[in-house]
Amino acid sequence: MKVFLATGNKKKIDEISKILDGSNIEILSINDGIEIPEVIEDGNTFEENSKKKALEIAKFTNMITIADDSGLCVEALNNEPGVYSARYSGENATDAENNKKLVENLKNVKNRKAKFVTVMTLGKPNGESYSFRGEVQGEIIDISRGKDGFGYDPHFYVEEYDKTFAEMPEIKNKISHRAKALNALKKGINEILNIG
């Protein structure tokens, strides 16, 4: 089954494609030359943003569409940056700029507990949508470690593995917030699409 993945982030496309490898879902994306309009993510929650994106792009492409909204929620920062994770230090911010602001805001803060959250929404061109949430717990470290991740991965430390997400891409694809949301979506997709 062909499903369109609504994101302009090529690293995210690669990660989601790897997680869905071996399923009955064939991912199409901007990598296949399909251009999509930008969707303004103005919701207050991950659910609102992922649903809006999935439904707008499903209508535009006339294809079943998967969209996600993901972010980092840091306990001591009132769950910031949250839905503003990609633009924490301003519009068009780089990963390095966002990470620098995060570390600065946690200076002299002992509580480093954090979680990554993903809400994955499957949207149909007829306006129906189904959302799936995934979370993974960790903590924020000051010194960046690892080169394989993106976003806040080099600062997101998972004690169980004694590594950051950027140091363990293969394991990350199995245990991450995005993997959990996608696995929930995989379980429900046959019923949702009346197949199988």
- Active centre residues (catalytic): 69
* Omega before residue 81 within 30° of 0, cis: yes
CA distance linking residue 178 with residue 120, whole number of Å:
8
Which token pair is 112?
A: 């480093």
Q: Report d(CA 76, CA 148) in Å as an integer.
A: 27
Q: Is 191 helix (H, G, I), strand (E, B) or coil?
A: helix
CA distance 27 to 75: 34
Place of tokens 């707008």: 56
Find, among 142, 165, 138, the residue nearest to 154 by Cα: 165
Alpha-helical regions (H) of the chain: 10-20, 46-61, 95-105, 169-175, 177-192
Yes or no: say if 117 and 133 are a contact pair by the CB < 8 Å rule: yes
